[in-house]
Chains A and B, each alone.
Chain A
Amino acid sequence: MALRLPSKVLKHILSFIDSNEDRNSVSLVCKSWFETERKTRKRVFVGNCYAVTPAAVARRFPEMRSLTLKGKPHFADYNLVPDGWGGYACPWIEAMAAKSPSLEEIRLKRMVVTDECLERIAASFKDFKVLVLTSCEGFSTDGIAAIASTCRNLRVLELRECIVEDLGGDWLSYFPETSTSLVSLDFSCLDSEVKISDLERLVSRSPNLKSLKLNPAVTLDGLVSILRRAPQLTELGTGSFAAELKPEAFTKLSKAFSNCKQLQSLSGLWDVLPEYLPALYSVCPGLTSLNLSYATVRMPDLVELLRRCSKLQKLWVMDLIEDKGLEAVASYCKELRELRVFPSEPDLDATNIPVTEQGLVYVSKGCRKLESVLYFCVQFTNAALITIARKRPNLKCFRLCVIEPFAPDYKTNEPLDKGFKAIAEGCKDLRRLSVSGLLSDKAFKYIGKHAKKVRMLSIAFAGDSDLMLHHLLSGCQSLKKLEIRDCPFGDTALLENAAKLETMRSLWMSSCFVSFGACKLLSQKMPRLNVEVIDEHPPKTRPESSPVERIYIYRTVAGPRMDTPEFVWTLHKNPEIGVSKLAIK
């Protein structure tokens, strides 16, 4: 006789399991475990808002308190997804308002959120606490005002890199005088000036405020006044750091920072003048995260700052840091786990090369805990990649962007195949990989064979043929997201590996050689995939062999979506009926 775990006991055990991956595994054991798990899951994550219907999610998880949703594919960040594609938050908010009124937290990434949507959130969830919108668009500051004024227990309001219709800084004044619960506020992506007195009052009455990210319109004077009222901050995003240089201004700023003894994370610093950097020196020894990606500070000033940051774990910086600056980072910032180096001159034909492969090699050698890299530079070598792989087998995320498409190893003129082979073979825990430079099909054979744990792979301007895609789809066991642009394939590989696509979240291909005929065939063959052909200028007629501009394929249990704009073709749309209207409510 099989022993059955009483559901009370199982419930208790499950209360210790937070990871959704584990909970998903638990759900698969048997029906009773599925039932107990679903009734106890509080934090729900949906990686593709079109993979499942809002109603199904609401039904399955009655105790949901936190919902995280992602909409547009990642390449939307780089303008590869035309406006109006989709990713609407409203249907989700409507469904949750009806079925899950106890929802407290909503986190949306790359979704279209309207003011009506925000007003609905404010009105529907009585104990609403957390709103985080990342790379979202479609709303104005009026919607933010609605959240601020209505959600009495609001703790977190973060607008991360959103495109907001900015109707002015009044929204801030909508936080009622009785609101004292704020823990985190991020309005760094807004343009308009807020009334500094409103901000001062809000900060003064929020004793739990730990994270504050200001927008560039906040001046240095404003910053000083805020810091005086919130010395307990652990995360700070400054406003504009450029101002007339007055000696008193500098002293005031220095003093304000030195009082912030718990500051761990610093960002913002737009247009920072090097003369103001010493005001930050007092907080450097405590910093674990520093985002200088908007600071045009050059090498010697940067090093003066960075050599004081011995506890730094995360550094985002412009390539103005140069190889020499990275060498300094390698020797002073021994706790570094994540490095991102952004291009200061994003032109294709930039001749000025501030960083080379050597910079990344220094950091790989000196920072033993380095596990995440995003690096932009103009050219690279196999030797450097091999060294990086050898020194840092613990890398989990490696994204190299060689800005020059098809750039070979500039010393040997060979493709970068050997280098990426070393990365795939050596870094056994690699979960995310972006490749660039000149790469032949061979590189992808190695990646397919060795990159067992890679879940997300990004490829641009690479490979020779369909073999490349075939290696990846038949190889990479853990592959969940694959995004490809400007590569020369691949009807054959796509159709041969169609089954693999059901084990992945999504596949994106743009400016490749996928024919319309192949898209139709794939659609017909695989009913549990949504195959979307996205052509910004759809042709009047489509011969089977014509290449499509973009194809986005994702698994779904929600069936075909009903809100596609006219430039998205799916098998389920009847072209005779006419253009399908944008359905937004």
Chain B
Amino acid sequence: MEFSNSCSSFSSSSVDSTKPSPSESSVNLSLSLTFPSTSPQREARQDWPPIKSRLRDTLKGRRGDDTSLFVKVYMEGVPIGRKLDLCAFSGYESLLENLYHMFDTLIICGKRDRKHHVLTYEDKDGDWMMVGDIPWDMFLETVRRLKITRPERY
């Protein structure tokens, strides 16, 4: 069964009180098994079946599942981080683009710049590095978490 959660495929308006009959419902209903995620190709869901993260991670770890790599992204000055699956991106460009949407601000890689937010990461050894200095694959193996530094103000 294929479903998609877009308004356009739901024919009647949402305040209409007509109820589709059971036989129609399986055709007209637009229920999503893929909600807006960072990558449409990903198979594994994070929210179904309803098991807690700890169990889900343990099971994935056992299977040697490398189809996802969740890291926390912190914006400097904000204690609460957001979770991001790095495997969903093809490289630094798509990562930066996603961060731009997530934090609603332009973020750059590379040399620290007084005017912009700069993306840094903590590696396996606990050191903070500039994102973008090593090939993407190597980055995925060593990254532990990300931090977006604030632009310097006078």
Contact = CB atoms under 8 A, between A and B. Distances in A.
B92 to A, nearest CB: 21
Given A401-B50, A460-B50, A138 B17 contact: no
Given A344-B59, A403-B49, A467-B19, A518 B33 contact: no
A490 to B, nearest CB: 9
Nearest to B145: A165
Nearest to B58: A294
B100 interface: no
Nearest to B62: A296
A305 interface: no
A465 B20 contact: yes
B19 A466 contact: yes
A296 B52 CA distance: 17
Given A466-B17, A515-B15, A582-B80, A161 B51 contact: no
A511 B35 contact: yes
A338 interface: no
Contacts of B32: 486, 511
Contacts of A163: 53
Interface in A470-517: 486-488, 491-492, 511, 513-515, 517
B48 to A, nearest CB: 7
A35 interface: no
Contacts of A112: 80
B46 interface: yes
Q: How large is the interface on B (under 10, 10 to 19, 20 to 34, 35 or more residues)?
A: 35 or more
Interface string A151-173: 00000000001010000000000
Nearest to B73: A83
A584 B80 contact: yes
Contacts of B45: 348
A233 B80 CA distance: 37
B115 interface: no
Interface stretch (A6-14, A72-80, A95-103, A329-337): A72-80
B15 A78 contact: no
B110 interface: no
Given A83-B82, A114-B79, A405-B33, A492 B101 contact: no
B53 A79 contact: yes
Contacts of A513: 10, 14
A39 B55 CA distance: 43
Nearest to A405: B33
Contacts of B55: 293-294, 342
Interface string B34-76: 0110000001111111111111101100100000000000000
Contacts of B21: 464
Interface in B76-92: 78-83
B81 A83 contact: yes
A465 B78 CA distance: 42
A345 B59 contact: yes
A4 interface: no
A293 B50 CA distance: 15
Nearest to A402: B49
The secondary-structure label for the interface of chain A is: loop
Contact of A343 (B17, B49, B78): B49
A487 B3 CA distance: 12
A82 B58 CA distance: 22
A351 to B, nearest CB: 15
Given A342-B51, A536-B36, A461 B31 contact: yes
A547 interface: yes
Contacts of B94: none
Interface in A440-477: 440-441, 460-461, 464-467
A440 B22 contact: yes
B46 to A, nearest CB: 5
Nearest to A510: B35
A579 B103 CA distance: 11
B13 A545 contact: yes
B49 A545 contact: no
A293 B62 CA distance: 13
Contacts of A545: 7, 13-15
Interface of B: 1, 5, 7, 10, 13-15, 17, 19-22, 25, 29, 31-33, 35-36, 43-56, 58-59, 62, 78-83, 101, 104
Interface of A: 75, 77-80, 82-84, 112, 114, 135, 138, 161, 163, 189, 270, 293-294, 296, 342-348, 376, 401, 403, 405-406, 440-441, 460-461, 464-467, 486-488, 491-492, 511, 513-515, 517-518, 536-537, 545-547, 549, 566, 579, 582, 584
Given A84-B80, A440-B22, 13 more contacts: A79-B46, A80-B47, A294-B55, A346-B49, A346-B51, A346-B56, A405-B33, A466-B17, A467-B19, A492-B17, A511-B32, A547-B7, A549-B35
28 contacts: A78-B48, A78-B50, A78-B51, A79-B53, A114-B79, A293-B55, A294-B55, A294-B58, A342-B51, A343-B51, A348-B45, A401-B49, A406-B1, A461-B31, A464-B20, A465-B19, A466-B17, A486-B32, A486-B33, A488-B25, A492-B17, A513-B10, A515-B15, A517-B14, A518-B14, A566-B104, A579-B104, A584-B79
